[in-house]
Structure 1
Amino acid sequence: MSEFTHFNKDGRANMVDISDKRETVRTAIAKTSVKVNSEIYKKITMQEMKKGDVLGVAQVAGIMAAKKTSDLIPMCHPIHLSGVDISFKWEKSHENYEVGITVQVKTIGSTGVEMEALTAAAATALTIYDMCKSVDKGMVIGPTYLVEKTGGKNGDYRR
């Protein structure tokens, strides 16, 4: 039998059975960023982007993505989320700007929410790109990474 957890006795993919796992409070924080030029920065911060409130729409997209993670990632369990919080922070370097995206996800359950936080971060960044691509397609997304997670039998993790 394989030591990999997402394979059955026949070596085929399966979703891990978590029915015997204890429910605990579980959190995850993920980060990513989108690097943009000064024109996009100005249009976002001055609410001048033709498609509307870029960060507001991106925030809603990220929350929706967290809730739909199990529809996108094959081996993820559907999870009842207790909360999703997305925040933004602008930084300037030379003539470019970078919007940092931080996502915090929380649940009480039998499995963690790392994938929900990472999926939300990615969808938030992709939405910013989508809403701004008419101005400049040269935006750069990432890196996207897990900052920390709490709860579960494997304990806490902090980058």
Structure 2
Amino acid sequence: MLKKIVGALIAIALLIQLVPVEHSNPPEMAPLQVSDETAQILNRACYDCHSNKTKWPWYSRVAPVSWWVTHHVDEGREHLNFSNWGLSSPKDQAEYAEEIVEEVEEGKMPMSSYVVGHPEAALSETDIATLRAWAGQFEGSEEKGKRHGRRARDVDDD
């Protein structure tokens, strides 16, 4: 009986590999332009989920993990995509920048599940200070967005 159960589980594990998962990296429409220092931080901590420059690891091709990884990348790109940054208005960019700083200061980003597999993505206090300084260039623009009752997470609803 145990052999039948193990055999069935192996068969299921093999069959789910046939479920296709798209690992796309669409062209960048209007990528973010920042200093080399800021770009380096964003590239290692954010771009795999928040850009069209995802580096798909080997395990992103093995179901059911592939479904989970692809879902996270799709959600990340939908919420914020650095590859399309230049398509957003200055006000929306300010709102995104403000939210980025909030998320990293609160330790919500990068996600802890991502950092476990990518320890280089962990942000130091210096990294966070660099991102804070970068976001500071947008000061004033985000107030316009707040007066209109919008935040960065609402931008995609337009």
Which of 1 and 2 has higher RCO (CA within 8 Å, sep 6+)?
1
Greater helix content: 2
TM-score, normalised by the number of residues in structure 1: 0.26
Larger radius of gyration: 2
